[in-house]
Amino acid sequence: MTTQTLSAGAARGPDAAQAKHADQVRVWDPLVRIFHWVLVGAFATAFIVEDDRLGVHVWAGYLVLALIALRLVWGVIGTRHARFSDFVRGPGQVLTYLRQSLRLEAPRHLGHNPLGGAMVVALLALVSITGLTGMALYGAQELSGPLAGLMSGMPPAVGGALEESHEVLANLTLVFILAHVAGVLFSSFAHRENLIGSMFSGRKRRSSREA
Ligand code: HEM
């Protein structure tokens, strides 16, 4: 056991909390954390209720789109690790990180790692396109929603194509979400840290070696 662990373990009450927080750094700001968990809830609601309760499905979809719009702005003006410039990397770096991960040699990152960053971009894009096709479909078939005026004169085949696309995209998004959660669990295991807990607390273990 290291000296650091001993001193943190021996401390009691406020001292223990202080020792624990001294080893941690704030990574995810409140907006990122609230965005993430509300997005999880809104997407799950829209996915589960489908069109059995169309009103709920549609409002959950609007919430998803509003969250994405907010996150896109925050990705430009937000805190350090929320910014796209902090985690969006080219295909070369993403593939290198994937290779390193498979060899269990990937370096730890405080923000999103290059592969995680690519997954974040893919999820934001998929969730957005799924929501937008849903909004267009709602306009074409129900003559309701913000796109009703634009979609009202469309031939029925357009509605059919939109319905098919919306469903395929929602299922594809689910596949990516499962891969995202698998990646989070893999990375948590590889670096001996609780990334899910960090998405709640906003904090991660400080280390002098990460990128
Ligand atoms: C219960 C299931 C989920 C868990 C446990 C989970 C966990 C996480 C964690 C730990 C991170 C931070 C990764 C890191 O440390 O680099 C993250 C980021 C992210 N997740 Fe999830 N996630 C879940 C479901 C979802 C779903 C359903 C979506 C999309 C619909 C999603 C979209 C995202 C996005 C966009 C980010 C980036 C956050 C940001 O930078 O704003 N996640 N997730």
Per-residue model confidence as pLDDT tens digits over 84-100: 999 999 999 999 999 99
What is the Cα–Cα distance from 166 to 151, expressed in whole angstroms?
A: 15
Residue 114 located in a structural domain: yes
User: Is 16 domain-assigned?
Assistant: no
Angle in degrees, CA 64, 68, 69, rounded to 5 = 120
**Which of 206, 210, 194, 182 minimizes the C-alpha distance to 8?**
206
Q: How far is the CA of 36 from the centre of ligand 1 (A)?
A: 6
Q: What is the pLDDT of residue 22?
A: 73
**Tens digits of per-residue pLDDT, 18-60?**
666 778 999 999 999 999 999 999 999 999 998 889 999 999 9
Tell me if 11 is assigned to some domain: no
Of all atoms in ligand 1, which is nearest to the CA of residue 127?
Answer: 30
177 lines ligand 1 (CB under 6 A): yes
For residue 112, is it within any domain? Answer: yes
pTM: 0.89
φ, ψ of residue 205 to 5 degrees: the values are -65, 135
CA neighbor of 139 nearest in space, from 69, 61, 86: 61
In CATH, what number is assigned to the domain containing residue 38?
1.20.950.20
Residue-range definition of the domain harbouring residue 74: 23-205
Q: How far apart are CA 102 and CA 169, in angstroms?
A: 28
Tell me whether residue 82 is exposed, middle or buried, using C-beta atoms within 10 angstroms of its C-beta: 0 to 12, 13 to 18, 19 or more. Answer: buried
Inside any domain, residue 2 = no
In whole angstroms, what is the distance from residue 61 CA to residue 135 CA?
A: 8
User: What percentage of the chain carries pLDDT values higher than 70?
Assistant: 89
Rounded to the nearest angstrom, the distance between the alpha carbon of 20 and the centre of ligand 1 is: 25
- Give domain status of residue 3, yes or no: no
